Structure 1
Amino acid sequence: MDLERELAHLPRPSEKRLALRVSPAAERAIRKGHPWLFDQAIRQQSHNGRPGDLAVIFDRKKRFLAIGLYDPASPIRVRILARGKPTQIDADWFLYRVETAVDKRLSLLQTNTTGYRLVHGENDGLPGLVIDRYGETVVLKLYTTAWVPHLRDVMPAISKIVQPKRMVLRLSRFVQRQEDDLFGLYDGQLWGQPVRNTGVRFLENGLYFEADVVRGQKTGFFLDQRDNRVRVEKLAADKRVLNVFAYTGGFSLYAARGGAKEVVSLDISQPALANAMRNFRLNRANEAVAAANHELLVGDAFLSMKQLIANKRRFEMMIIDPPAFAKRQDEVERALIAYGRLVRLGLKLLRPGGILVIASCSSRVSAEQFFELVNKTALGMGRPLQEIKRTGHALDHPIAFPEGVYLKCLFAMAS
């Protein structure tokens, strides 16, 4: 990949840094390590800036407080890169940050795993940037156009450390709308070797998967549930398993390898379930996977679960891993109602003594709210839960600030 030539058209950030003075509350938050400065917290600004310009934040005594990436289109006006002392943000700095993040994940390579998160945004000191690895493919996802002027430093750093055969760029919906600040970059853009129509192949704990890194959800796969998939495998022997919101069948495949005699993958997306079927075929050399009866069910989760209840289908394990129901604070109440509905439907399908696995990836819903709701709902149905384990984030999805917490999952036995 000749990244220098491919990225030469991208702008560089202005050599003139922005100078900002902020509110006392923002100053305290930054000192404590918070990675965001919101627009309403800015009290003084030296001049207008462009996305990706470096902004230096000073405290009330005009001392250096922090430096970060400026984004005039986002309410998160500055994403903090360094704090405490003046720092030179350049290619060497980005190389060091990426190397540090990669080193934290080295132990995953000992688990026969080649698909994992290399950089978890704010939590690895690179706010607004996610980097995932799928074998010989690296996917970058931008959540702010402030990264565009710095790709000429970041992408060569990744290429030097990981040496992938290809790199793919994914853009959040917010970023895709900022067309004038993308300079021709687009969601799904690829550098290096082409991708097969079925996606790129990688290993997770010895299982083969294919991910659609160009068009799939997130960066192509839900890497954050890896550890919970292992826990499902250990509990699935001889069980009939229903995997709701199955996507490409990650939980389903682990359950099959764990000895489940029947696995039903339910999802509204036909292409996702087709991918799930391919993932099973990729692992047919495993006797347990080959022996499992894998059924695909296309449909809305709530309606399909009602139909399964009406058809008197019952299971010994229920896996419910829905998408984020609450992306804003005003959606939390509706999200809790939806989780409650899923618990009730799931327990109606779950045999006494069966295992309920239910997760939430909504950061606006706290772990306390979620676990309390699940237990209260089950108790209200006369199906109290005996908790097996509460889980959170995996090693490659570290948490460095409160708003970074989003994933929680409950494993429980239903009476």
Structure 2
Amino acid sequence: MTTSLANLPVVGERRLAVKVTADALRQIRGGSPWLYDGSITSLNHEGAAGDLAVVFDDRRKFAAIGLWDPTSPIRVKMLHVGSPTTIDATWWHHRLAEALERRSALEADPGTTAYRCIHGENDGLPGLVVDRYDTTLVVKLYSPAWFPHLQIVVDQLLALVGPERVVLRLSRAVASGETFGLADGDTIFGPAPNQPVFFRERGLTLEADVVHGQKTGHFLDQRDNRALVRGMAAGADVLDVFASTGGFSVSAAAGGAASVHLIDQSEPALQTARRNLEHNHRIAEVRRCAVHTTTGDAFHVLADLARKGEQFDIVIVDPPAFASNRAAVPRALAAYGRLTRLALAVVRRGGTLVQASCSSRVGSDEFVEAVLNAADSVGADVIETRRTGHAVDHPIGFEFGAYLKAVFLTVRSGPTRS
């Protein structure tokens, strides 16, 4: 059943007039998509979530405009900086069309029908994510400021993309507040999906639970790294740690891996991974690949595999984010180092460790340094052969927009000490 958007709030007629500190104004003009509450020096009246907030400079001239969010320390999500502009249907159309144009190469590839259409702040739309799974669009809101604008965004997406359906996902913070009759997983256009949604990634068939799955149903950001693993997997025994729904394992199997062993603490995710492998049994290499799965804590399972003397040619370690803020970075780096040491204990001589991080607070250099230091601490001889970042559909649009990084290491010899 399709859920109506009729109860959504409307944007107030009066614009909020916001004055900010000189430092905040410099940051906004420098590309920051966020204005924090502590940087606001005056406000002409109280506003509701989603009201348009105009930032003025010290000479009372227009500087920027964004969405007001009274529920968040990031009080204004910036939409436009510079000369005055009107945020209307034409503006929304152009902003969304610009984002889609950046993905034109993916849109033209019949072998890949799933990708990120809107990447939040990095596409100039803070707090809004739109992922495409073939004929299904998933709109995810990370701020209630988007509710008053949801109808016009959906209307423009229908005009630009022409999907069969649109599914709404809400972050935990948004879902815990006023949602105007909407719930996480509601279909807000077209027929509700009565089964997983199918899509293609570089010719492989995969499924996504766009209603209940993590994020929007699949981790689209690792597409390029999965392709790299596919290219090196021929004849290899592959260990996929934090496997989730099996994207890396399916790619490795299609690349001719002799075996794939998937580890994840979620049994439902591993069930999806097994189905994703089955969806590709038309490929001879996938049919021949031996599949093993283990449900459990990755740290514990890795240690157990090492005790048993298990060895693999390729080990992929792609954990969830470990650092939600800068204060958590030291603990996150320690966790990455621990994973490196555990993973190296099960990599064969001459094999490859692929280790990734999706913690935006952890920089690429400090992540790789933590991995290399961990390898050195146990006497492993490794060579960094490749370092990767964001795919084209996950652009980096501002200073802190980067989050994904991965390092590929050739292991010339494993640990010599524990």
**TM bracket (short chain):** over 0.9
Cα distance, 1:360 vs structure 2: 0.2
Structure 1 stretches of at least 4 aligned residues deviating more than 6 Å after TM superposition: none
Q: Deviations over 1:364-390 (max 9, x none)?
A: 111111000101111121113211110
1:14-413 alignment, distance < 5 Å: 14-108=12-106, 109-110=108-109, 112-179=111-178, 182-191=179-188, 192-197=190-195, 199-413=196-410
Are the aligned partners of 2:121 and 2:127 in contact in 1 as well (CA < 8 Å)?
yes
Are the aligned partners of 1:247 and 1:269 in contact in 2 as well (CA < 8 Å)?
yes
**Scaled by the length of structure 2, what TM-score is found?**
0.96
| AA partner of residue 297 (structure 1) | T
Q: Deviations over 1:293-323 (max 9, x none)?
A: 1111111101111111122111011000000
| AA partner of residue 242 (structure 1) | L
| AA partner of residue 89 (structure 2) | A
Equivalent residue of 1:80, what SS?
Answer: strand
Cα distance, 1:336 vs structure 2: 1.1
Partner Cα distance (2:18, 2:233) in 1: 55
RMSD: 1.2
Paired residues in the alignment total: 410
Cα distance, 1:403 vs structure 2: 1.4
| AA partner of residue 328 (structure 1) | N
Q: Deviations over 1:9-31 (max 9, x none)?
A: 21111010000110010010111
Q: Which runs of 5+ in 2 are unaligned?
A: 413-418
| AA partner of residue 257 (structure 1) | A
Q: Deviations over 1:55-81 (max 9, x none)?
A: 000011111100000001100100111
Are the aligned partners of 1:375 and 1:384 in contact in 2 as well (CA < 8 Å)?
no
| AA partner of residue 139 (structure 1) | V
Give the percent of matched residue pairs that are identical in Structure 1 and Structure 2: 51
Alpha-carbon spacing, 1:2–1:175, altered in 2? closer, same or farther (3 Å): closer
Q: Deviations over 1:312-360 (max 9, x none)?
A: 1110110000000111222111111111110010000011111000000
Equivalent residue of 2:109, what SS?
Answer: helix
Are the aligned partners of 1:378 and 1:384 in contact in 2 as well (CA < 8 Å)?
yes
| AA partner of residue 82 (structure 2) | G
Equivalent residue of 1:402, what SS?
Answer: coil
**Scaled by the length of structure 1, what TM-score is found?**
0.97
Cα distance, 1:251 vs structure 2: 0.3
Cα distance, 1:282 vs structure 2: 0.7
Cα distance, 1:103 vs structure 2: 1.4
Are the aligned partners of 2:2 and 2:192 in contact in 1 as well (CA < 8 Å)?
no
Q: Which runs of 5+ in 1 are unaligned?
A: none
Are the aligned partners of 2:262 and 2:270 in contact in 1 as well (CA < 8 Å)?
yes
Q: Deviations over 1:106-133 (max 9, x none)?
A: 1013261000000001111111100000
